[in-house]
Amino acid sequence: MSVKTSSTLETEEAELERSPEAEYPETKYPRPGPGGKARSLLWLIALAALAAGAYWLYVRWHNGQAAAAAKQATPGSQTIPVSTAAAQRGDIPVYLNGLGAVTAFNTVNVKTRVDGQLLSIAFKEGEFAKEGAPLAELDPRPFEVQLAQAKAQLAKDQATLANAQVDLARYRLLAEKGVIPSQQLDTQAATVRSDQAVIEADNAQIANAQLQLVYCHIKAPISGRIGLRQVDVGNIVHANDPNGIITITQVQPIAVLFTIPEDSLAQVLKRLRAGEHPPVEAYDRSGQNKIASGKLLTLDNQIDPTTGTSRLKAVFDNKDSSLFPNQFVNVRLLVETKQSQIIIPAVAVQRGPQGTFVYIVQADQTVDIRPVTAGVTEGSQTAIESGLKDGEQVVVDGVDKLKAGSKVQTSPAASPGSSPVLGQGQ
């Protein structure tokens, strides 16, 4: 084993310092040569170019968006498509709306007026019956027997009366000759009058028996629709039966009971006191489909304090049987027709902090904001009390992007489904 001296160690250390490993101690990752430095520089230049291009594209896109927004914000810088309608002068009706129920004009619970067995029925359930038409028949034989007995009693009492009248004539002759006292004559005269009263009672019995026979033939007391029968043939019916035989409801004409607020009662009273019967329209549950037209008949004599409403009664001809008893309907009562009003579609009226306004299309195809005073609205139409003239064009569709001075491209609006009578006020 050799021992290194200090001088030998110093010599080895100096050699290590001069070796490549000492200059580049990272033996696993050797220092790049001149070719590697050039490639790194090229990559840095490419990345910088890409970043510069992306920034340029972003700035260009942002400037384009800002320019488009500025162009859109500038009034009159673009044309906005809108739909318009012309203000027209005409008449617009004023209606009161209420909820109502159809009620039969008359309802009769048909009962027998005598006791007896039900022999036959001459009607079909649900059909219409005219007044006086036969409905049912009871067994008439018990009442025919009563009639025969009454006639027999009448014949007997008539014979008794005839005998009394003969005796009275004889007593008058004897009294004139003084054979019998006048008291006996007076007694015989009273007997004759008593027999005459018995005859009158017999005639009444005969009439009563004949009436019972008439009651055996039950007829319709009114014209109307026949309901479901309550008794079958063969049963014994009584005059005090609670249900009766059938129910007849008069549906031509038919009535509708409906309510209106008490605040609107004055308008209705004014028409009724003038002898008028305002038109009434009945609509279905949805309020969209008209069922029938009628007229106001009368109103109740008091206001319901719990609801603050008054009940009114309207009458409908109901020739097509479109209304049925207990049917729910929406009622519209015409109380007034405003004449010569400026009328526009209701959708044209806008509302803002300063009140109601409309967009007016001017001659240069720009819009202006016009404050208006809206009046009655009926269906899709609104009457304008002030702020508009006949013939001016108002925007009805496309108002979301409009402001004063906006340039517009107009097209006529579609006709509304229902509108007031136009042109009558001119």
Q: What is the pLDDT of residue 424?
A: 38
pLDDT of residue 77: 54
Residue 306: pLDDT over 80: yes
What's the Rg (C-alpha) of the chain?
A: 54
- pTM score > 0.75 for this model? no
Q: Which helix (H) or strand (E) holds 185?
A: helix 182-215
Residues 228-252: tens digit of each pLDDT: 999 999 999 999 998 899 999 999 9
> For residue 37, what pLDDT is reported?
66
| Residue among 108, 103, 139, 133 nearest 245 (CA) | 108
In what helix (H) or strand (E) does residue 214 lie, and over which residues does it extend?
helix 182-215
Cα angle for residues 166, 168, 173 (degrees, 5° grid): 100
Decide: helix, strand or coil at residue 55: helix
- Confidence class for position 68, pLDDT limits 50, 70, 90: low
Q: Is the C-alpha dihedral spanning 22, 24, 29, 33 positive or negative?
A: negative
Find out whether 280 and 97 touch, Cβ atoms under 8 Å: no
304 close to 310: Cβ distance less than 8 angstroms: yes
Mean pLDDT of 386-399: 89
Residue 36, pLDDT score: 61
> Could you report the per-residue pLDDT of 310-345, keeping only the tens digit for each?
999 999 999 998 999 999 999 999 998 888 899 999
pLDDT of residue 18: 52
Length of the chain: 426
Q: What is the pLDDT of residue 353?
A: 86
Q: Which amino acid is at 351?
A: R
Q: Which of 14-18, 47-51, 363-367 has the highest mean pLDDT?
A: 363-367
The token duo for 258 is 């409906």
- List alpha helices for 29-111, DSSP H: 34-73
Q: Which long-range contacts (CB under 8 A, 24 or more apart) does 365-372 make?
A: 365/79, 365/407, 365/408, 365/409, 365/410, 366/76, 366/405, 366/406, 366/407, 366/408, 367/82, 367/395, 367/402, 367/403, 367/404, 367/405, 367/406, 367/408, 368/404, 368/405, 369/403, 369/404
Q: What is the mean pLDDT of residues 280-302?
A: 92
Whether the Cβ atoms of residue 294 and residue 280 lie closer than 8 Å to each other = yes
Rounded-to-integer distance, Cα 369 and Cα 56, Å:
43
- Quote the CA–CA distance of 99 and 117 in Å, as a whole number: 46
Structural contact between residues 245 and 231, judged by C-beta atoms closer than 8 angstroms: yes
Q: How high is the pLDDT of residue 252?
A: 92
pLDDT category at 10 given cuts 50, 70, 90 is low
pLDDT number for residue 11: 53
- Cα–Cα distance list, 185 to 21, 157, 165, 167, 417 (Å): 185, 21, 11, 9, 97
Domains and CATH numbers, the chain: 79-92+341-412 (2.40.420.20), 112-137+219-244 (2.40.50.100), 140-215 (1.10.287), 249-338 (2.40.30.170)
Q: How would DSSP label each residue in 262-298?
A: GGGHHHHHHHHHTT---EEEEE-TTS-SEEEEEEEEE
**Omega of the bond leading into 253 within 30 degrees of 0 (cis):** yes
How far, in whole angstroms, is CA 244 from its chain's centroid? 35
Of 114, 119, 81, the C-alpha closest to 239 is 114
- Using an 8 Å Cβ cutoff, are 296 and 278 in contact? yes
User: What is residue 192's predicted lDDT score, i.e. its pLDDT?
Assistant: 93
Torsion region of 398: left, alpha or beta (phi above 0 gives left; psi -120 to 50 gives alpha): left
